[in-house]
Amino acid sequence: MSSLWLGVIGSSIALFALRYLGYLVPEKFLTNPRMLRINTLIPIALLSALVGVQTLTEKGKWVIDQRLAGVAVALIALSLKAPYFVVVISAAVTSAVLYRL
Amino acid sequence: MSKVNRATATQSLSVSFAVGLYGIAFGAAGIAAGFSILQTCLLSLLTFSGASQFAVVGVMGAGGSALSGIATASLLGIRNTLYGLRMAPILQVRGWKKVVAAQVTIDESTGVAIGQEDLGIDAMKQGFWLTGIGVYVLWNFFTLLGALGAQAMGNPSAWGLDAAVPAAFLGLVWPRLLGSFERSLAVASLCLAIALSPFIPAGLPIILTALLAAVFGWRAR
């Protein structure tokens, strides 16, 4: 099986297991305040890391290219409270224009 | 189930449509990362959790192993377990209905359900099911559309898809950056992951930032 298939199937199984678990265990588990706090912070860390790696690295090397400009425009759009779609499209358009120049 | 509350139905459907549309971005991201149309659509059908799906294609598209992709997706998916804990006593489901409920337990279905608290438990149930199934159907439809579109476009960079993916992540994390504490964690994670990238296998720099979250969260503010 290819690595991509393994990723697709593995993440599907993992996510279903995580979801189903919530319906199986009594509520008193997993409600430790420290664990709850860490759990709300994990997405912030992982998503921010993904932003950084996807913007400034390519195949394990630091790279500055049109993606940085695209993400900078997305950041501006977000600070102007633009809707999600405008944010993504503005980044894509900026990056595409610079790439084609 | 009793008569559907109009306000609940309206809210459920508008949330479903707004969120479902993002499926286009995911469909395109999957193709840009080198996944096939079938694989991209299966991620939406089976994994069905926006941030986790983007993480799988993001990590593996950058050369990360399947294990790194699955681990990142799982760390992002832990919150769904907590939603299940919250929804189980409200929904009181058994058998196959429990399986379906688990599959549509996401940020939005739980959020809308909790939002109906003042209208009573029936409205909460309706909000959960309408939003969960609504998002499921639309998210998958728009994933297919995005994947077909991206396939037709060819070179992802020429269409800006290479920047659209990190922008999509940025849009997901933005609403969570409520104060300087969260912003510090975000900046620290971003810098750590970039700094580590040339030195350890792809995917690991991202997973390791979960430790940073644990350090930040260990002490109460």
Annotated domain spans of chain A: 1-31
Please state, for a pLDDT cut of 70, what percent of chain B lies above it: 98
Measured between alpha carbons, how far is B126 from B137 in angstroms, rounded to an integer? 16
CB atoms A99 and B190 under 8 Å: no
CA distance B129 to chain A (A): 15
Q: What is the DSSP string of chain B?
A: --PPPHHHHHHHHHHHHHHHHTHHHHHHHHHHTT--HHHHHHIIIII--HHHHHHHHHHHHTT--HHHHHHHHHHHHHHHHHHHHHHHHHH---HHHHHHHHHT-SHHHHHHHHHTGGG-HHHHHHHHHHHHHHHHHHHHHHHHHHHHHHHHH--GGGGTHHHHHHHHHHHHHGGG--SHHHHHHHHHHHHHHHHHTTTS-TTHHHHHHHHHHHHHHHS--
Report pTM: 0.84
Q: Give the pLDDT mean for B132-150.
A: 96
| Residue in the structure block whose two tokens are 């998210």 | B139
**ipTM for this model:** 0.89
State which amino acid sits at residue A15. L
User: Are the C-beta atoms of A95 and A70 separated by less than 8 Å?
Assistant: yes
Please state, for a pLDDT cut of 90, what percent of chain B lies above it: 62
Residues B160-216: pLDDT tens digits?
888 988 998 898 899 889 999 999 999 999 999 999 999 998 888 998 999 999 999
Question: Which residue of chain B is at minimal alpha-carbon distance from A1?
Answer: B66
CB atoms A95 and B157 under 8 Å: yes
pLDDT band for position A39 (50/70/90)?
Answer: confident
Q: Does A101 touch chain B (CB under 8 A)?
A: no
Res. A28: pLDDT tops 70:
no
Of the residues A28, A41, A98, the best mutation for testing chain B's interface (the one with the most B CB atoms within 10 Å of its CB) is A41
The tokens describing B169, both together, are: 């992540």
User: Which helix (DSSP H) or strand (DSSP E) does residue A37 occupy?
Assistant: helix A33-56
Cβ neighbours of B82 in A, within 8 Å: 22, 30, 36, 39
User: Within the 64-103 window of chain B, which residues sit less than 8 Å (CB to CB) from chain A?
Assistant: 65-67, 69-70, 72-89, 93, 98-99, 101-103
Question: Which residue of chain A is at minimal alpha-carbon distance from B210?
Answer: A42
Measured between alpha carbons, how far is B89 from A80 in angstroms, rounded to an integer? 40
Res. B8: pLDDT tops 80:
yes
CB atoms within 10 A of CB A86: 15
Of the residues A9, A15, A32, A59, the best mutation for testing chain B's interface (the one with the most B CB atoms within 10 Å of its CB) is A15
User: Within the 6-65 window of chain A, which residues sit less than 8 Å (CB to CB) from chain B?
Assistant: 6-12, 14-16, 18-23, 25, 27, 29-31, 33-34, 36-62
More confidently predicted of A29 and B122: B122
Contacts of B217 (CB under 8 A, 6+ apart): A34, A37, A38, A39, A40, A41
